[in-house]
C-alpha cells in the first residue's frame, strides 16, 4: 500500500480518502489478500467510507441554490434542500 495508507482517516481530504478506498476495494476484489489482512483493510475501508460521507455532507450543507425572479434573473441564494 501507499506510504500514507496508515494516515489518520480524519485528516484525509475527500480525494485522498476516495483514492485509498478505491485501492482497498480493488485489492479485496482481486482476492489475493490473506484473510487477516483482508479484515484489517476492510475495517480501514469502512473508516474511509465514513470520512467520505462526512465530507460530502459538509459540502452539501454549504451549497446554496440560486433563486430567480419571474423573468429568470438571479436575485439571491437560499440553502439547498437536499431531501
Model confidence over 37-65: pLDDT tens digits?
999 999 999 999 999 999 998 887 777 77
For residues 39 and 24, the answer to whether their CB atoms sit within 8 Å is no
**Structure confidence by residue, pLDDT tens digits, 10-35:** 999 999 999 999 999 999 999 999 99
* Per-residue confidence (pLDDT) for residue 58, from 0 to 100: 87
pTM: 0.70
Cα separations in angstroms, 44 against 35, 53, 58, 63, 78: 14, 14, 21, 29, 37
Amino acid at each position: 500500500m501507499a506510504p500514507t495508507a496508515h494516515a489518520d482517516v480524519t485528516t484525509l481530504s475527500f480525494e485522498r480518502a476516495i483514492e485509498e478506498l478505491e485501492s482497498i476495494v480493488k485489492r479485496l476484489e482481486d482476492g489475493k489478500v490473506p484473510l487477516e489482512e483482508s479484515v484489517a483493510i476492510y475495517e480501514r475501508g469502512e473508516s474511509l467510507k465514513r470520512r467520505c460521507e462526512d465530507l460530502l455532507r459538509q459540502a452539501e450543507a454549504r451549497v446554496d441554490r440560486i433563486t430567480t425572479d419571474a423573468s429568470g434573473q438571479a436575485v439571491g441564494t437560499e440553502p439547498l434542500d437536499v431531501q
